[in-house]
């Protein structure tokens, strides 16, 4: 299988390490020109296979005719690269699902799947239960509340730093309360879980979110409650953070591996699947 990756940060590097145990993968990674030397150096140092190579333009990535492209470079990459890839007929697995909080972008991506007869796959990532939530949403009147707890380091570089000294926290502190749309916009690197809930459930404006910085947290905790006239359930998930990135759960990486392998095997995709080939 020919796999494309957009970005070569923590998630992409872990995907490469997990997938290339099988030598039949051919992986092309799109990186910024200024990041090319560092990416190649990292690949050499970690003993990446010869089937892994880097390009610096979307045109070069498309010339490799990837069967599937996985976006793992942040929300800006969704608008810049995923939309034209979908329009050109390439299926895409989107990690930064929070980008779809932008109503216009969400609409354009959906149109792109139709124009390109392609698929936009939205993984569950670090949480589960989205199949049941999606089913309940079909009956209407679904209410979802979410609480996300991460160690203070996970919130660095976010609006939380403007009003809190994160390193000095001694107890759990709420850093945000609002809708999933607001959370996905203000915390783009931390809110993909709430975006997944919104897309499977009642929408970005109808999922209420609380985000917490907890100095005693050793991982990332996701708790949510679903209420509907026909079913009620609660989920409480404690994830180990990935190495080198306190914001990302290891469960997210393995969720992506599962989606990619299912795609390769031709099995039904478990994530939200928009469009069709």
| Given the residues 53, 222, 258, 267, the one annotated as active site | 222
Torsional class of 203: left (φ above 0), alpha (ψ -120 to 50), beta (otherwise)? left
Across the strands, what pairs with 146? 209, 224
Phi, psi of 199 (to 5 degrees): -70, -35
Query: Quick one: residue 22, left, alpha or beta (phi over 0 = left, psi -120 to 50 = alpha)?
Result: beta
Collapsed DSSP state (helix, strand, coil) of residue 105: helix
Residues 6+ apart with CB under 8 A from 180: 101, 146, 191, 194, 195, 197, 198, 204, 205, 206, 207, 208, 209
What DSSP designation does 57 have? S
> Facing residues of 213 across strands?
150, 173
| Annotation says 258 is catalytic | no
Q: Would you name the residues annotated as active-site residues?
A: 222
């Amino acid at each position: 299988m020919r796999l494309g990756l957009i970005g070569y940060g923590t998630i992409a590097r872990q995907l490469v390490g997990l997938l290339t145990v099988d030598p039949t993968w051919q992986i092309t990674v799109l990186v910024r020109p200024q990041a090319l030397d560092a990416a190649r150096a990292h690949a050499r140092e970690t003993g990446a296979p010869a089937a892994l190579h880097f390009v610096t333009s979307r045109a070069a990535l498309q010339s490799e005719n990837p069967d599937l492209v996985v976006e793992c470079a942040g929300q800006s990459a969704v608008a810049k690269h995923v939309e034209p890839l979908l329009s050109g007929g390439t299926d895409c697995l989107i990690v930064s699902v929070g980008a779809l909080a932008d109503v216009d972008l969400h609409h354009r991506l959906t149109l792109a799947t139709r124009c390109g007869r392609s698929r936009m796959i939205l993984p569950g990532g670090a949480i589960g239960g989205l199949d049941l939530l999606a089913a309940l949403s079909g009956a209407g009147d679904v209410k979802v509340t979410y609480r996300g707890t991460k160690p203070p380091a996970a919130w660095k570089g976010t609006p939380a730093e403007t009003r809190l000294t994160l390193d000095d926290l001694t107890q759990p502190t709420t850093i945000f309360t609002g809708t999933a749309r607001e959370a996905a916009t203000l915390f783009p690197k931390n809110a993909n879980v709430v975006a997944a809930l919104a897309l499977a459930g009642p929408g970005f404006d109808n999922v209420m979110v609380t985000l917490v910085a907890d100095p005693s947290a050793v991982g990332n905790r996701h708790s949510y409650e679903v209420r509907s006239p026909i079913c009620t359930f609660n989920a409480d998930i404690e994830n180990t953070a990935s190495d080198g990135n306190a914001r990302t759960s290891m469960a997210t990486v393995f969720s992506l591996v599962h989606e990619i392998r299912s795609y390769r095997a031709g099995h039904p995709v478990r994530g939200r699947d928009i469009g069709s080939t």
